Structure 1
Amino acid sequence: MLKIWFKPEKLSPIEEEALRARKKHKDVIVDIGELPEAKAREMVIQLSSLDELIKAADGLLKPVLHKAEAHKHTYYVIDGLTRYEYISEA
């Protein structure tokens, strides 16, 4: 019998963060293909961490929308005309 082992490819820090978040907050984070377009009078609030965005989502009872792109993960919580966002990129 021949056994072959493959060393798993090392994930980038951004991909590791996304994987941890998906596991930890699987009930809150929703993967999407396209982000909704910003509304004309929409206010965007940049947050400094994904944990802060998760806290906002929990307080607002809203899902966290997640779009994965090459070297960039964008997370949003939309509440009416307010968009809370966290962007993780290389």
Structure 2
Amino acid sequence: MPATPLTAEVLAALERIGCPVTTTDLMRLLNRDRPTPLVVDQVYRAVDALRARGAVRRLKAASNKRVRYWEVATGPHTCSCGASQQGAS
């Protein structure tokens, strides 16, 4: 499956951030200076497509099982935000 402009933009944003981030926070970052704002479902579909390709990892917060974080899959998990790597999904 080829990368779409949105998946490429999402991956670039996650690489810039360098720490796990929620879908909502990622959407807010991507909507800066965007004439037509994205909705959270668009961002989730793009990041989930990247997860399916192995480009990003999905993490969960230890304190709240409903909160999901995303990070670039390359390199070790080194952020101390409280998220932990989730098993294969």
| Higher normalized strand content (fraction of residues) | 1
TM-score, scaled relative to structure 2: 0.29
* Structure label with greater radius of gyration: 1
TM-score, scaled relative to structure 1: 0.29
